[in-house]
Amino acid sequence: MPQADVSRNTDNLKKELTLPMVFCVALKQVIGGGVIALTGVAIGLTGAGVPIAFILASITSIMAAIPFAILSSAMPVTGGMYTWPARLMAPWIGFITLWFFFLTNVALSLYAITASDYIRVFYPDIPQGPLAFAILTIFYLINLSGAKTTAKVGMVLTFIMASAILLFIGTGLPEVNYAHFENMMPNGIMALMSATGILLFTTGGANMVAELGGEMKNPGRDIPISIIAATATAAIVYVLASIVAAGVLPIAEVADKPLTLVAERIMSRGSFLYFSIGAGIISVFGIINAQMLWGSKSLLVACDDCWLPPGIGAVNKRFGTPHFLLTGLYLVGIFPIITGLSVKEIAMASTITGIAAQIVVIICSYILFRKYRSIYMSAPFKIKEGWLVAAVIIGVLLNGVLVLNLVSGLSIWTNTVMAIWLVIGAVIALARRNHAVSWKVEMTDKTVAKVS
């Protein structure tokens, strides 16, 4: 394999992201519209035990995110989902991981359609397709203007979303009948565990900020803080919201119902409207904005490593954005919209591919500890070996169970498409293996991966 050239597209990224910006991106990845839809589902499973389920799900998500925090602290890089496996395991493993992970971006179409459906509740005459297309186009243009602008927009969206949920909590807590919580496990421990498993979809996701290391001013410090703090903050918000959800109305009335049912009962018309917009429409907007921000970063590094043509990874020098790759993400997002394809199964498939990629990265954290201990020990964030092993085992098992559950729920056709996609990636990896750049992880004054 050839050695890396000193001139790379990633060198043109602007290091503009600060801790508050990154924290808001991470928080937006955790707190989303899922809390509205899935809290009622969890209540249907475990009744008044839903706050405990949220606590368990949040603890599990933090444990699963610790490997990302460790890698981000020791080796803060752009596009960690590709870069870490490529540097710590093997270049071809990094590419296959990226190839599979790329399918997660098709979920952009689902988010745009979901946002359009929320808006059409108020304006039912607007066609779904054109509205979803317009939403995705707006956030594509915002992202083209640079990571700093995108992050600032994300901070505003996060504030609106968080204030809407906090308004729900503040209005509802005085109305809670705590007698509802006398039996915290009415359906037994297994029902509680099932509810916890469902809620893992709402408490995870903060580790995606690890993709942005090349655009942060202090990634080794800010990524671990953002991942853990955002997940912990979301846990507090979720627990309080679930207490209101399960404690105001009889359990039978709110089981399997969205939070809007409780909100409509306890909030004024204006407050309910703000909650519906902030926790619904704005929440999904934030997810689109965040995914457009980090979705191209692993692809960018793969272009620099010559797995893909370096030209398509070109970074605009004025805005510091990989405009061709962003356009690719945009096209992936709008394709199901303009063709009218159903994205439900594609969205499930994208979740599977994202989780599978996370398993590889989690394993990388232990490889870092075993093979590059000097780098690990010099990192701002690290834990003892026993805790690291526990975090890796929990992360792999947790994500593995989720993958198996999701695969079993997919059609044969969708599973076949994923298998074909993986085979295509393997063929490309085989064809390009002698052209890809060779890297070696070494200790530097900043404890980052260095070419040798």
Say whether pLDDT at 242 is over 70: yes
Q: What is the pLDDT of residue 128?
A: 86
**Average of per-residue pLDDT across 68-73:** 89
Cα separation values, 220 from 140, 290, 388, Å: 28, 20, 18
pLDDT band at 169, cuts 50/70/90? very high
Q: What is the pLDDT of residue 451?
A: 36
* For the chain, percent of residues with pLDDT exceeding 90: 22
**Structure confidence by residue, pLDDT tens digits, 18-63:** 999 999 888 888 887 667 777 888 898 889 999 999 998 888 888 8
Q: What is the pLDDT of residue 341?
A: 63
Please give the Cα distance from 44 to 25 (Å, whole number).
31
Say whether pLDDT at 137 is over 50: yes
Q: What is the pLDDT of residue 294?
A: 87
* For the chain, percent of residues with pLDDT exceeding 70: 92
Query: CA 213: distance to chain centroid?
Result: 15
Query: CA 104: distance to chain centroid?
Result: 10
Cα separation values, 248 from 49, 89, 180, 352, Å: 14, 52, 8, 36
pLDDT band at 326, cuts 50/70/90? very high
Say whether pLDDT at 258 is over 60: yes
**Structure confidence by residue, pLDDT tens digits, 378-393:** 888 888 888 889 888 8
Q: What is the pLDDT of residue 448?
A: 46
CA atoms within 13 A on the CB side of 292: 40
Q: How many CB atoms lie within 10 A of CB 6?
A: 7
pLDDT band at 280, cuts 50/70/90? confident
Cα separation values, 142 from 136, 285, 309, 394, Å: 10, 12, 25, 37
DSSP 175: G
Give the residue carrying structure tokens 């910006």.
21
Say whether pLDDT at 363 is over 90: yes
Q: What is the pLDDT of residue 266?
A: 93
Please give the Cα distance from 176 to 190 (Å, whole number).
26
**Structure confidence by residue, pLDDT tens digits, 433-449:** 877 776 666 655 444 44
Contact 361, 80 (CB under 8 A): yes
Least confident range from 168-182, 198-212, 228-242, 301-315: namely 198-212
Q: What is the pLDDT of residue 336?
A: 79
Q: Which two tokens stand for residue 276?
A: 């519906």
Say whether pLDDT at 403 is over 50: yes
Say whether pLDDT at 3 is over 60: no
Q: Which of 129, 112, 128, 108 is nearest to 350 (CA)?
A: 108
H-helix segments, 186-315: 189-203, 219-247, 251-254, 259-266, 269-276, 283-294, 297-304
Q: What is the pLDDT of residue 347?
A: 65
**Average of per-residue pLDDT across 145-163:** 89
**Structure confidence by residue, pLDDT tens digits, 101-133:** 888 887 788 788 888 888 887 888 999 889 999
Q: What is the pLDDT of residue 50?
A: 92
Query: CA 148: distance to chain centroid?
Result: 19
**Structure confidence by residue, pLDDT tens digits, 406-433:** 777 777 887 888 888 889 989 988 888 8
DSSP 291: H
Burial class of residue 421 in the structure, from the number of CB atoms within 10 Å of its CB (0-12 exposed, 13-18 middle, 19+ buried) = middle
Please give the Cα distance from 65 to 76 (Å, whole number).
15
Please give the Cα distance from 327 to 122 (Å, whole number).
30
